[in-house]
Structure 1
Amino acid sequence: MRAQLRPYRREIALIVAFQFLQTLATLYLPTLNADIIDKGVVTGDTGYVIRTGATMLGITLIQIAAQIVAVYYGARTAMAVGRDVRAAIFARVQDFSAREVGQFGAPSLITRTTNDVQQVQMLVLMTFTLLVSAPIMCVGGIVLALRQDVPLSALLLVIVPILIILIGLIIARMRPLFRSMQERIDRVNRVMREQIAGIRVIRAFVRDEHEQDRYGEASQDLMDVSLRAGRLMALMFPTVMLVVNVSSGAVLWFGAHRIDSGGMQIGALTAFLSYLMQILMAIMMATFMFIMIPRAEVCADRIVEVLGTESSVRPPTDPVRELRSHGHLELRDVDFRYPGAEASVLCGVGLVARPGEVTAIIGSTGSGKTTLLNLAPRLFDVTGGQVLVGGVDVRELDGTLLSRTVGLVPQKPYLFTGTVASNLRYGNPDATDEELWQALEVAQAREFVERMDGGLSARIAQGGTNVSGGQRQRLAIARVLVQRPEIYLFDDSFSALDYATDAALRAALAHRTADATVVIVAQRVSTIRDADRIVVLDDGVVVGAGTHGELMDTNPTYREIVLSQLTEQEAAA
């Protein structure tokens, strides 16, 4: 967090200077007020009263101006710090692999970027506007109270420690409640996100009441913790005011006896009472901070946890910026295991895909097909073996070069808020409209895009929810075609297409990607039966490789998959 404050040292210095000036002005006013009473009103010196009053007016104007400047710079700096922290979190999350994103969870990362940053931002603002002046006012008030009357100042030795102890006891109980509150906010966000994303499933299974109960439970837990924290916060202010009122009564009581004995003047008692109020108000201002500090501290810890987490996919220290060969993808004895998993997802996988060839990967659910495909663009890093693109280990390859070389169409295609054109240009911002239409035609998407209002300028909702699943898949395929990589990876990217569209798309792709390397993961045998080479995965192990005909004759696993979808005659055709 200090790194985010470092660029604003000049602004912080200005805030401290003007807060110091404003506090000094506030401290000096009671002394002038005492002088007016004791040296002007009591003696009847009207001229002294006017002159001192004019001085007080001038000091008050300085006090107001200094406070305005301090608050302005304080608010501006606090907002800038919040902006910088959010940017730092976003940049760090952008570097995360899928492993770290899964570790934190999307709802928690959103909460940390919004709610947690807001709490820290408010603490920074309160620090600049209150905490700077509070210690100066407290110490200065004590010194000036002693100057008015030393014996009466003995009351401060009792009042201040009692107030600090009471506040400390309350604060100690608040901190664990605030941590629990932030965790429950995460849970509410998680449940809400799941319900929004899974609304169709909820409606299909008529589970509305169940989801309402689940959200109600999460919301009730948050309310219970918030109420406990709120009760402690509500207890703090009456505690402070009780000490303030009791101490004011004690000062008036003992001060009256001092005046009666001639040891103190009326103006001095008035000034002493003002300084007592300033001391207690300084402690009360610090109390505002103490209320916020536990929650902001928890939020800061959560933010630092994100900023301090290194991605498991680390950029190379000396990146290779030139490929040894083009369009060549090779997996050498690859192992992959998720953190904490009992068994590896992939074990000793070897695969070679060459330009001008279509390599297909097929296997049962959970055999590791998607994980294997995600290793090439470094969404994960292997835990054993090597993944080579263009003859270079992907862990040594420049990230920009890797992204230009490998194009992935994920199993669940995602479209961003914007237009058809903005989504298609995601991998190639310089693509012309003609290139976009060509890609759409190959992806069998031109017809429905032309029917959309605006064509390439047609609006796309977040996640592509305003188009069908098949249309999303075709737009995602068109997007990677616009990028024109050397290696195309299709992760079950034809599953939402009907057989006629699937066949037409694969025929068009064959011409467009004739010189490129194509790797297809598919569940449909019809999609991959014409591939140059088919790799069969079973429980993370390669159990066969060859053409459709070869595998039908020699590989029982492949034959079982094929015959679960086709008849013997269809498989042999």
Structure 2
Amino acid sequence: MIRTLLKEVKEYKAASIATPIFMILEVLFETLIPFLMASIIDKGVNTGDIHHIYKVGGIMIVAAFLGLLAGMAGGRYGAKASTGFAKNLRNAMFDRIQTYSFANIDHFSTAGLVTRLTTDVTNVQNSYQMMLRMMMRAPASMVCAMVMAFAINARLASIYLVAVLILGIILFFIIRHATAYFQQAFPKYDALNESVQENVSAIRVVKAYVREEEETSKFKRASKNIYDIFVKAEKNVIWNAPIMMFTVYTCIILISWFGAKMIVVDSLTTGELMSLLAYCMNILMSLMMLSMVFVMISMSMASMRRIAEVLDEKTDIHNPEHPVYEVADGSITFKNVDFSYKKDSAEKVLKDINLEIRSGETIGIIGGTGSAKTSLVNLISRLYDVTDGEILVGGKNVKEYDLEVLRNQVSVVLQKNVLFTGSILDNLRWGDKEATDEECIQACKLACADEFIERFPDKYNTHIEQGGNNVSGGQKQRLCIARALLKKPKILILDDSTSAVDTATDAKIRRAFREEIPDTTKLIIAQRVSSVQDADRIIVMDEGKIHGFGTHDELLASDEIYREVYESQTQGGGDFDENGGEA
């Protein structure tokens, strides 16, 4: 886990190395000051040697100034290293997510990935900065102060040794208990982010059903869970400061008591006593800083694990060693294909699928909710990989193709239509970033999108809001179809992509496809029989199997499911499912 994360330090290695070096230099200069102060008191103040006072005082000023410069440099490089490390972690996670297949994405929730990219990375950033600065500064300060204290008077310095051992044991138990709570806290942010995400993305539904109070209560519960865990953790951590201060004051009293007696018998000077008191604060405060570093690290351990999970997730779909870069045609063959979303699952979503689709054919796909229509077409562009069997496109196994080439030639208009913030042209050019305005307009004409675009004041420069909220469902579907057409694919898959379009426009789109792109293989998933009845052939899906495959007339004669649906829709206007569900 640590090795995975540290790989992302990259160009900030120099800053990461420079930070602890400057922190150690700061400690050395700070440690020197109490020693010089003792010399001023014993050899300057007590003897009245003003020259010695000026000389050593000047050295103290220089040491303080150099310590200040070292501390500033350490802070600067520490900030640069930690923020740069956080930037690289976010970039690495985002890049890795882009390589995920749908199966990989199914392992994580959207809210969980957002939390990892934000809250978890911030925790690791803070922890990394603390490690670079305090993880080096605190031990170095404690060791240096301890060495100087023993050099002055080993008997009195032994008080520090006992105090450090006792304090270390107490702090160990405090950190141990606090860590357990902190590890529970950060995963709770997923639930909090999920609550916010669902509420904001579905705010229209929330308001339509007057569910504001329920959503507020759900958010408050998620927030309260985080609050309760942090309170429990902090109840342990708050003991840190009072125990530390009690130890510090006890050491000061003991050193003052025994030191005063030693001064009386001339085995200790006044300056040395003052230096020992100063080193007392250095030693114990260093230990306190060290304990806070461990608390911070314990808080971020859960975040580190969650980030490493994203970075270590291996995509189960990748390019072959020698990929094919050209798709010959739009023919599709399924050979004994089985599929399940989880590889170790005994329940198969698709079972024994065998299909032969010729290039340029228009294939309708119809079936009830949960009949695996979407699962079937998702395998063609390798959004998922088959569990058993093989799929051929253009005569070659889809696993032999370069992924980018395959997905450019197999264009999918997904069931959930998504538009991005920007102009209509910006959204269309997701299909082809080099597409000219004329090509975009032609694609929109094929998808019957030009009809409504021309009515907008800004036409193709009309701004699309986030998620396409300022266009209707049917308009959104037609824009997504136009975007897919711009790829000029050999295979076009419409996954129930005209469900929000009126039947007249649906017929226009199908006629345009038939006339304008006859060589493109078209797979059309639909709930309405009217959307697929003029297709070359129609697949009837039922419970993950092909129940029927043929022309409209052949299926009316031979397939009872298709005949029943056709009759119900033509006579009663019913949908494929009695409840009107979508696949």
Give the letter aligned to residue 281 of structure 2: M
Match of 1:447 in 2: 451
Give the letter aligned to residue 191 of structure 1: S
**Residue 466 and residue 251 in structure 1: after superposition, are their counterparts in 2 closer, same or farther (change >3 A)?**
farther
Match of 2:336 among 330, 333, 339: 333
Q: Report if the CA contact (8 A) 2:111-2:193 is conserved.
A: yes
Match of 2:296 in 1: 292
Match of 1:408 in 2: 412
Question: Size of the alignment, in residue pairs?
Answer: 570
What CA distance in whole angstroms lies between the structure 2 residues aligned with 1:102 and 1:200? Answer: 26
Matched, 1:74 2:78: yes
Query: Displacement, 1:317?
Result: 2.6
Query: How does 1:2-401 map onto structure 2 within 5 Å?
Result: 2-323=6-327, 325-339=328-342, 341-401=345-405
496-505 or 473-482: bigger deviation: 496-505
Match of 2:464 among 460, 478, 492: 460
Query: How does 1:427-438 map onto structure 2 within 5 Å?
Result: 427-438=431-442
Give the letter aligned to residue 330 of structure 1: T
Query: Displacement, 1:109?
Result: 0.7
Give the letter aligned to residue 511 of structure 1: E
**Residue 4 and residue 53 in structure 1: after superposition, are their counterparts in 2 closer, same or farther (change >3 A)?**
same
Match of 2:497 in 1: 493
Give the letter aligned to residue 274 of structure 1: A
What CA distance in whole angstroms lies between the structure 2 residues aligned with 1:108 and 1:554? Answer: 49
Q: Deviations over 1:103-132 (max 9, x none)?
A: 211100110111000100111111222112
Query: Displacement, 1:231?
Result: 2.2
Query: Displacement, 1:230?
Result: 2.4
Identity among equivalent positions (%) equals 38
What CA distance in whole angstroms lies between the structure 1 residues aligned with 2:134 and 2:62? Answer: 23
Query: Displacement, 1:241?
Result: 2.0
What CA distance in whole angstroms lies between the structure 2 residues aligned with 1:453 and 1:231? Answer: 61
**Residue 279 and residue 570 in structure 1: after superposition, are their counterparts in 2 closer, same or farther (change >3 A)?**
closer
Query: Displacement, 1:341?
Result: 4.5
Q: Deviations over 1:155-200 (max 9, x none)?
A: 0221101211121111111222112111211111112222223333
Q: Report if the CA contact (8 A) 1:71-1:128 is conserved.
A: no
Matched, 1:515 2:504: no
Query: Displacement, 1:45?
Result: 0.2
Q: Deviations over 1:207-237 (max 9, x none)?
A: 3333333222222212111211222232322
Give the letter aligned to residue 219 of structure 1: S
Q: Deviations over 1:474-510 (max 9, x none)?
A: 1100101111111101000000101121112222222
Give the letter aligned to residue 331 of structure 1: F
What CA distance in whole angstroms lies between the structure 2 residues aligned with 1:96 and 1:295? Answer: 28
SS in 1 for 2:415: coil
Query: Displacement, 1:6?
Result: 4.6
What CA distance in whole angstroms lies between the structure 1 residues aligned with 2:480 and 2:141? Answer: 63
TM-score (norm 2): 0.94
What CA distance in whole angstroms lies between the structure 2 residues aligned with 1:566 and 1:343? Answer: 35
What CA distance in whole angstroms lies between the structure 2 residues aligned with 1:101 and 1:227? Answer: 33
Matched, 1:548 2:552: yes
Query: Displacement, 1:355?
Result: 2.4
Q: Report if the CA contact (8 A) 1:367-1:538 is conserved.
A: yes
Q: Report if the CA contact (8 A) 2:318-2:403 is conserved.
A: no
What CA distance in whole angstroms lies between the structure 2 residues aligned with 1:441 and 1:352? Answer: 31
Q: Report if the CA contact (8 A) 1:353-1:518 is conserved.
A: no
Match of 1:531 in 2: 535
226-235 or 490-499: bigger deviation: 226-235
Give the letter aligned to residue 70 of structure 2: A
Q: Give the gaps of 5 or more residues in structure 1.
A: none
Query: Displacement, 1:569?
Result: 12
What CA distance in whole angstroms lies between the structure 2 residues aligned with 1:202 and 1:564? Answer: 34
What CA distance in whole angstroms lies between the structure 2 residues aligned with 1:200 and 1:557? Answer: 37
Q: Report if the CA contact (8 A) 2:331-2:360 is conserved.
A: no
What CA distance in whole angstroms lies between the structure 2 residues aligned with 1:378 and 1:310? Answer: 16
314-323 or 249-258: bigger deviation: 314-323
Query: Displacement, 1:570?
Result: 13
Match of 2:476 in 1: 472
Q: Deviations over 1:215-264 (max 9, x none)?
A: 22222212111211222232322222222222222222221122122210
Give the letter aligned to residue 53 of structure 1: G
333-342 or 532-541: bigger deviation: 333-342
Query: Displacement, 1:312?
Result: 2.1
Give the letter aligned to residue 536 of structure 2: D
352-361 or 546-555: bigger deviation: 352-361
120-129 or 7-16: bigger deviation: 7-16
Q: Give the gaps of 5 or more residues in structure 2.
A: 576-583
What CA distance in whole angstroms lies between the structure 2 residues aligned with 1:177 and 1:466? Answer: 45
What CA distance in whole angstroms lies between the structure 1 residues aligned with 2:220 and 2:574? Answer: 53
SS in 1 for 2:322: coil
What CA distance in whole angstroms lies between the structure 1 residues aligned with 2:457 and 2:79? Answer: 45
Query: Displacement, 1:409?
Result: 0.2
